[in-house]
Amino acid sequence: MDRLTHISTYVNVFLMEKMLCCTPLLTTPLQRSDADELAARFRALADPVRLRLLSLIADRGEVCACDLVVPLGISQPTVSHHLRTLFEADLVARERRGRWIHYRLVDSTVDALRQALAPAIVSS
Amino acid sequence: MDRLTHISTYVNVFLMEKMLCCTPLLTTPLQRSDADELAARFRALADPVRLRLLSLIADRGEVCACDLVVPLGISQPTVSHHLRTLFEADLVARERRGRWIHYRLVDSTVDALRQALAPAIVSS
DNA sequence: GATCGATATTGACGGTTATCTATGGATAGG
DNA sequence: CCTATCCATAGATAACCGTCAATATCGATC
Protein backbone atom coordinates (compact mmCIF):
# COMPACT_ATOMS: atom_id res chain seq x y z
CA MET A 1 0.00 0.00 0.00
CA ASP A 2 1.54 3.31 -1.03
CA ARG A 3 1.64 6.43 1.07
CA LEU A 4 -1.30 8.24 -0.48
CA THR A 5 -3.60 5.24 -0.25
CA HIS A 6 -2.59 5.04 3.38
CA ILE A 7 -3.53 8.64 4.05
CA SER A 8 -6.79 8.26 2.19
CA THR A 9 -7.68 5.19 4.23
CA TYR A 10 -7.16 6.98 7.52
CA VAL A 11 -9.14 10.01 6.44
CA ASN A 12 -11.98 7.74 5.37
CA VAL A 13 -11.90 5.75 8.60
CA PHE A 14 -12.15 8.98 10.53
CA LEU A 15 -15.06 10.23 8.45
CA MET A 16 -16.81 6.88 8.85
CA GLU A 17 -17.74 7.73 12.43
CA LYS A 18 -20.40 10.09 11.16
CA MET A 19 -22.00 7.60 8.81
CA LEU A 20 -25.23 5.78 9.48
CA CYS A 21 -26.18 2.99 7.12
CA CYS A 22 -24.48 0.03 5.54
CA THR A 23 -21.90 -2.24 7.07
CA PRO A 24 -18.56 -2.10 5.25
CA LEU A 25 -18.20 -4.90 2.74
CA LEU A 26 -14.52 -5.57 2.87
CA THR A 27 -13.46 -5.37 6.49
CA THR A 28 -15.35 -8.29 8.00
CA PRO A 29 -17.57 -11.10 6.66
CA LEU A 30 -21.01 -9.71 5.91
CA GLN A 31 -24.08 -11.01 7.71
CA ARG A 32 -27.10 -12.01 5.70
CA SER A 33 -29.28 -9.10 6.78
CA ASP A 34 -26.54 -6.55 6.10
CA ALA A 35 -25.94 -8.12 2.72
CA ASP A 36 -29.63 -7.82 1.88
CA GLU A 37 -29.69 -4.15 2.76
CA LEU A 38 -26.53 -3.31 0.86
CA ALA A 39 -27.61 -5.30 -2.18
CA ALA A 40 -30.91 -3.44 -2.26
CA ARG A 41 -29.09 -0.14 -2.45
CA PHE A 42 -26.65 -1.27 -5.11
CA ARG A 43 -29.61 -2.62 -7.08
CA ALA A 44 -30.87 0.94 -7.30
CA LEU A 45 -27.57 1.86 -8.99
CA ALA A 46 -27.61 -1.15 -11.30
CA ASP A 47 -29.44 0.48 -14.18
CA PRO A 48 -28.02 2.91 -16.75
CA VAL A 49 -31.16 5.04 -16.82
CA ARG A 50 -31.08 5.51 -13.07
CA LEU A 51 -27.37 6.34 -13.15
CA ARG A 52 -27.99 9.02 -15.76
CA LEU A 53 -30.88 10.40 -13.72
CA LEU A 54 -28.68 10.54 -10.62
CA SER A 55 -25.96 12.18 -12.66
CA LEU A 56 -28.28 14.86 -14.01
CA ILE A 57 -29.71 15.53 -10.56
CA ALA A 58 -26.25 15.76 -9.00
CA ASP A 59 -25.01 18.05 -11.75
CA ARG A 60 -27.86 20.54 -11.50
CA GLY A 61 -28.21 20.38 -7.72
CA GLU A 62 -31.97 20.37 -7.95
CA VAL A 63 -34.07 19.36 -10.93
CA CYS A 64 -37.72 19.42 -11.81
CA ALA A 65 -38.93 15.99 -12.89
CA CYS A 66 -40.26 17.61 -16.04
CA ASP A 67 -36.68 18.34 -17.13
CA LEU A 68 -35.64 14.70 -16.85
CA VAL A 69 -37.84 13.15 -19.52
CA VAL A 70 -36.54 14.66 -22.75
CA PRO A 71 -32.76 14.21 -22.11
CA LEU A 72 -33.12 10.46 -21.59
CA GLY A 73 -35.39 9.77 -24.54
CA ILE A 74 -37.73 7.45 -22.67
CA SER A 75 -41.36 7.78 -21.71
CA GLN A 76 -42.51 9.89 -18.76
CA PRO A 77 -43.95 6.92 -16.80
CA THR A 78 -40.64 5.10 -17.11
CA VAL A 79 -38.75 8.08 -15.75
CA SER A 80 -41.26 8.32 -12.93
CA HIS A 81 -40.76 4.64 -12.16
CA HIS A 82 -37.00 5.01 -11.94
CA LEU A 83 -37.23 8.15 -9.82
CA ARG A 84 -39.43 6.21 -7.44
CA THR A 85 -36.80 3.47 -7.24
CA LEU A 86 -34.10 6.03 -6.45
CA PHE A 87 -36.37 7.68 -3.90
CA GLU A 88 -37.14 4.42 -2.13
CA ALA A 89 -33.42 3.64 -1.98
CA ASP A 90 -32.93 7.01 -0.28
CA LEU A 91 -30.63 8.15 -3.04
CA VAL A 92 -32.76 11.17 -3.92
CA ALA A 93 -35.22 13.34 -2.03
CA ARG A 94 -38.21 15.08 -3.59
CA GLU A 95 -40.19 18.15 -2.77
CA ARG A 96 -43.43 19.36 -4.33
CA ARG A 97 -43.48 23.05 -5.28
CA GLY A 98 -46.77 23.95 -6.88
CA ARG A 99 -47.33 21.72 -9.86
CA TRP A 100 -43.74 20.62 -10.01
CA ILE A 101 -41.70 18.11 -8.06
CA HIS A 102 -38.05 18.86 -7.50
CA TYR A 103 -35.47 16.16 -6.95
CA ARG A 104 -32.11 16.44 -5.25
CA LEU A 105 -29.33 14.06 -4.31
CA VAL A 106 -29.12 12.60 -0.79
CA ASP A 107 -25.38 12.93 -0.22
CA SER A 108 -25.29 10.87 2.96
CA THR A 109 -26.58 7.76 1.21
CA VAL A 110 -24.03 8.06 -1.57
CA ASP A 111 -21.32 8.57 1.05
CA ALA A 112 -22.46 5.49 2.94
CA LEU A 113 -22.28 3.36 -0.20
CA ARG A 114 -18.81 4.68 -0.94
CA GLN A 115 -17.79 3.78 2.59
CA ALA A 116 -19.18 0.30 2.18
CA LEU A 117 -16.62 -0.19 -0.57
CA ALA A 118 -13.74 1.13 1.52
CA PRO A 119 -10.73 -1.21 1.71
CA ALA A 120 -9.98 -3.16 4.85
CA ILE A 121 -7.50 -1.58 7.23
CA VAL A 122 -4.34 -3.63 6.93
CA SER A 123 -2.72 -4.10 10.34
CA SER A 124 0.92 -4.49 9.28
CA MET B 1 -17.95 21.19 3.46
CA ASP B 2 -15.89 20.60 6.57
CA ARG B 3 -12.12 20.40 6.69
CA LEU B 4 -11.76 16.64 6.69
CA THR B 5 -14.12 16.15 3.79
CA HIS B 6 -12.05 18.72 1.97
CA ILE B 7 -8.82 16.84 2.61
CA SER B 8 -10.42 13.55 1.64
CA THR B 9 -11.67 15.03 -1.61
CA TYR B 10 -8.22 16.25 -2.59
CA VAL B 11 -6.56 12.97 -1.70
CA ASN B 12 -9.15 11.12 -3.76
CA VAL B 13 -8.77 13.44 -6.72
CA PHE B 14 -5.04 12.86 -6.62
CA LEU B 15 -5.42 9.10 -6.47
CA MET B 16 -7.91 9.19 -9.32
CA GLU B 17 -5.12 9.78 -11.81
CA LYS B 18 -4.10 6.17 -11.48
CA MET B 19 -7.55 4.78 -12.07
CA LEU B 20 -8.71 3.22 -15.29
CA CYS B 21 -12.37 2.42 -15.52
CA CYS B 22 -15.61 4.16 -14.82
CA THR B 23 -16.44 7.80 -15.32
CA PRO B 24 -17.43 9.53 -12.07
CA LEU B 25 -21.17 9.63 -11.62
CA LEU B 26 -21.63 12.87 -9.81
CA THR B 27 -19.27 15.38 -11.39
CA THR B 28 -20.69 15.66 -14.88
CA PRO B 29 -23.73 14.27 -16.75
CA LEU B 30 -23.07 10.66 -17.66
CA GLN B 31 -23.02 9.54 -21.28
CA ARG B 32 -25.05 6.52 -22.29
CA SER B 33 -22.09 4.24 -22.87
CA ASP B 34 -20.45 5.19 -19.58
CA ALA B 35 -23.75 4.62 -17.80
CA ASP B 36 -24.02 1.17 -19.35
CA GLU B 37 -20.55 0.19 -18.16
CA LEU B 38 -21.03 1.51 -14.65
CA ALA B 39 -24.46 -0.09 -14.33
CA ALA B 40 -23.03 -3.43 -15.37
CA ARG B 41 -20.50 -3.26 -12.55
CA PHE B 42 -23.01 -2.16 -9.95
CA ARG B 43 -25.28 -4.98 -11.11
CA ALA B 44 -22.57 -7.40 -10.02
CA LEU B 45 -22.84 -5.90 -6.53
CA ALA B 46 -26.63 -5.95 -6.51
CA ASP B 47 -27.08 -9.40 -5.01
CA PRO B 48 -26.68 -10.39 -1.35
CA VAL B 49 -25.01 -13.71 -2.16
CA ARG B 50 -22.37 -12.00 -4.28
CA LEU B 51 -21.75 -9.39 -1.61
CA ARG B 52 -21.17 -12.11 0.97
CA LEU B 53 -18.86 -13.94 -1.43
CA LEU B 54 -16.88 -10.75 -1.99
CA SER B 55 -16.78 -10.16 1.73
CA LEU B 56 -15.46 -13.65 2.46
CA ILE B 57 -12.86 -13.37 -0.28
CA ALA B 58 -11.72 -9.94 0.94
CA ASP B 59 -11.55 -11.12 4.54
CA ARG B 60 -9.43 -14.17 3.83
CA GLY B 61 -7.25 -12.57 1.15
CA GLU B 62 -7.43 -15.66 -1.00
CA VAL B 63 -10.02 -18.39 -0.87
CA CYS B 64 -10.51 -21.77 -2.48
CA ALA B 65 -13.89 -21.99 -4.17
CA CYS B 66 -14.48 -25.16 -2.19
CA ASP B 67 -14.56 -23.11 1.01
CA LEU B 68 -17.29 -20.83 -0.29
CA VAL B 69 -20.12 -23.31 -0.68
CA VAL B 70 -20.87 -24.39 2.89
CA PRO B 71 -20.84 -20.93 4.57
CA LEU B 72 -23.51 -19.57 2.26
CA GLY B 73 -25.83 -22.55 2.41
CA ILE B 74 -26.56 -22.64 -1.31
CA SER B 75 -25.72 -25.17 -3.98
CA GLN B 76 -22.30 -25.44 -5.58
CA PRO B 77 -23.52 -24.52 -9.09
CA THR B 78 -25.13 -21.38 -7.73
CA VAL B 79 -21.90 -20.34 -6.02
CA SER B 80 -20.03 -21.04 -9.22
CA HIS B 81 -22.50 -18.94 -11.17
CA HIS B 82 -22.08 -15.97 -8.84
CA LEU B 83 -18.30 -16.28 -8.84
CA ARG B 84 -18.45 -16.15 -12.60
CA THR B 85 -20.52 -12.97 -12.45
CA LEU B 86 -17.99 -11.38 -10.09
CA PHE B 87 -15.15 -12.54 -12.30
CA GLU B 88 -16.69 -11.11 -15.45
CA ALA B 89 -17.22 -7.80 -13.67
CA ASP B 90 -13.50 -7.82 -12.84
CA LEU B 91 -14.25 -7.74 -9.13
CA VAL B 92 -12.37 -10.95 -8.43
CA ALA B 93 -9.50 -12.79 -10.08
CA ARG B 94 -9.04 -16.56 -10.08
CA GLU B 95 -6.07 -18.83 -10.34
CA ARG B 96 -6.03 -22.57 -10.74
CA ARG B 97 -3.66 -24.41 -8.42
CA GLY B 98 -3.87 -28.12 -8.91
CA ARG B 99 -7.43 -29.26 -8.54
CA TRP B 100 -8.51 -26.10 -6.74
CA ILE B 101 -9.31 -22.62 -7.93
CA HIS B 102 -8.38 -19.72 -5.70
CA TYR B 103 -10.20 -16.42 -5.77
CA ARG B 104 -8.95 -13.02 -4.66
CA LEU B 105 -10.28 -9.48 -4.73
CA VAL B 106 -9.33 -7.08 -7.55
CA ASP B 107 -8.71 -3.97 -5.50
CA SER B 108 -8.45 -1.61 -8.44
CA THR B 109 -11.98 -2.35 -9.60
CA VAL B 110 -13.41 -1.77 -6.15
CA ASP B 111 -11.42 1.46 -5.93
CA ALA B 112 -12.75 2.56 -9.29
CA LEU B 113 -16.33 1.99 -8.21
CA ARG B 114 -15.72 3.91 -5.03
CA GLN B 115 -14.31 6.75 -7.09
CA ALA B 116 -17.33 6.71 -9.34
CA LEU B 117 -19.39 7.61 -6.29
CA ALA B 118 -17.08 10.43 -5.24
CA PRO B 119 -18.82 13.76 -4.71
CA ALA B 120 -18.44 16.55 -7.22
CA ILE B 121 -15.70 19.05 -6.48
CA VAL B 122 -17.47 22.25 -5.45
CA SER B 123 -15.73 25.25 -6.96
CA SER B 124 -16.56 27.85 -4.25
C1' DG C 1 -6.43 -44.92 -18.73
C1' DA C 2 -9.98 -45.57 -15.09
C1' DT C 3 -11.57 -43.27 -11.45
C1' DC C 4 -12.33 -39.66 -8.12
C1' DG C 5 -12.95 -35.09 -6.59
C1' DA C 6 -13.38 -30.01 -7.61
C1' DT C 7 -15.60 -26.63 -10.69
C1' DA C 8 -17.99 -25.15 -14.53
C1' DT C 9 -21.86 -25.45 -17.78
C1' DT C 10 -26.61 -26.58 -19.29
C1' DG C 11 -31.45 -26.45 -19.14
C1' DA C 12 -35.56 -25.50 -16.81
C1' DC C 13 -38.56 -22.95 -13.78
C1' DG C 14 -40.30 -19.15 -11.09
C1' DG C 15 -39.79 -14.53 -9.68
C1' DT C 16 -38.36 -9.83 -10.69
C1' DT C 17 -37.82 -5.80 -13.58
C1' DA C 18 -37.89 -2.36 -17.51
C1' DT C 19 -40.75 -0.61 -20.64
C1' DC C 20 -44.88 0.93 -22.86
C1' DT C 21 -49.96 2.70 -23.30
C1' DA C 22 -53.81 4.20 -20.92
C1' DT C 23 -55.65 6.30 -17.03
C1' DG C 24 -56.12 8.76 -12.64
C1' DG C 25 -55.15 12.45 -9.19
C1' DA C 26 -53.49 16.86 -7.97
C1' DT C 27 -52.64 21.79 -8.77
C1' DA C 28 -52.80 26.37 -11.08
C1' DG C 29 -55.24 29.64 -14.13
C1' DG C 30 -59.21 31.29 -16.41
C1' DC D 1 -66.12 24.63 -12.45
C1' DC D 2 -63.38 23.56 -16.50
C1' DT D 3 -59.35 22.82 -18.52
C1' DA D 4 -54.50 22.22 -19.11
C1' DT D 5 -50.33 20.53 -17.11
C1' DC D 6 -47.41 17.74 -14.21
C1' DC D 7 -46.74 13.51 -12.23
C1' DA D 8 -47.97 8.90 -10.45
C1' DT D 9 -50.26 4.42 -10.89
C1' DA D 10 -52.23 0.27 -13.25
C1' DG D 11 -51.93 -3.35 -16.32
C1' DA D 12 -49.60 -5.88 -19.90
C1' DT D 13 -45.60 -7.82 -22.04
C1' DA D 14 -40.99 -9.23 -22.84
C1' DA D 15 -36.50 -9.73 -21.10
C1' DC D 16 -33.63 -10.77 -17.36
C1' DC D 17 -32.01 -13.20 -13.17
C1' DG D 18 -31.39 -16.58 -9.21
C1' DT D 19 -31.77 -21.10 -8.20
C1' DC D 20 -31.42 -26.06 -8.58
C1' DA D 21 -30.61 -30.93 -10.48
C1' DA D 22 -28.16 -33.09 -13.89
C1' DT D 23 -24.17 -33.33 -16.58
C1' DA D 24 -19.76 -32.16 -18.47
C1' DT D 25 -14.84 -30.88 -17.90
C1' DC D 26 -10.53 -30.73 -15.93
C1' DG D 27 -6.68 -32.24 -13.06
C1' DA D 28 -4.55 -35.66 -9.84
C1' DT D 29 -3.83 -40.25 -8.36
C1' DC D 30 -3.76 -45.12 -8.50
| Exposed/middle/buried for residue B20 (C-beta within 10 Å: 0-12, 13-18, 19+) | exposed
Residue B14 domain-assigned (yes or no): yes
CB B116 within 8 A of CB B124: no
Q: Is the CB of A5 under 7 A from strand C?
A: no
CA of B101 to C1' of C2 (A): 24
B8 vs B19: CA distance, rounded Å:
17
- A106 domain residue, yes or no: yes
Contact of B35 with A56, CB cutoff 8 Å: no
Chain B positions in Cβ-Cβ contact with residue A45 (cut-off 8 Å): 38-39, 42, 46
Q: How far is the CA of A118 from the C1' of D21 (A)?
A: 38
Q: Is residue A51 part of a domain?
A: yes
User: Range of B47's domain?
Assistant: 3-116
Contact B58, A121 (CB under 8 A): no
Q: What is the pLDDT of residue B90?
A: 97
Within a domain: residue A122? Answer: no
CATH number for the domain harbouring residue A22: 1.10.10.10
Across the interface, of A8, A27, A120, the residue whose CB is closest to B12 is: A8
Q: CB-based contact (8 Å) between B61 and chain A? A: no
Question: What average pLDDT score do residues A59-70 get?
Answer: 96
Q: Is the CB of residue B73 less than 8 Å away from at least one CB of chain A? A: no
What does the pLDDT read at residue B100?
A: 97
Is B124 a member of any domain? Answer: no
As for how many domains chain B has, the answer is: 1
What is the per-residue pLDDT for A121?
Answer: 74
What is the least distance, in Å, from the CA of A8 to any CA of chain B?
6
Distance in Å from C15's C1' to A93's CA comes to: 29
pLDDT for residue A112 is more than 90: yes
Residue A80, in any domain of the structure: yes
**B21-36 pLDDT per residue, tens:** 678 888 888 999 999 9
- Asked if the model's pLDDT at residue B112 lies above 60, the reply is yes
Confirm whether B122 is domain-assigned.
no
Q: How does DSSP assign B60-100, residue by residue?
A: HSSEEGGGSSGGGTS-HHHHHHHHHHHHHTTSEEEEEETTE
The pLDDT score that the predictor gives to residue A27 is: 87
pLDDT tens figures, B51-105: 999 999 999 999 999 999 999 999 999 999 999 999 999 999 999 999 999 999 9
Instruction: Please report whether residue B123 resides in a domain.
Output: no
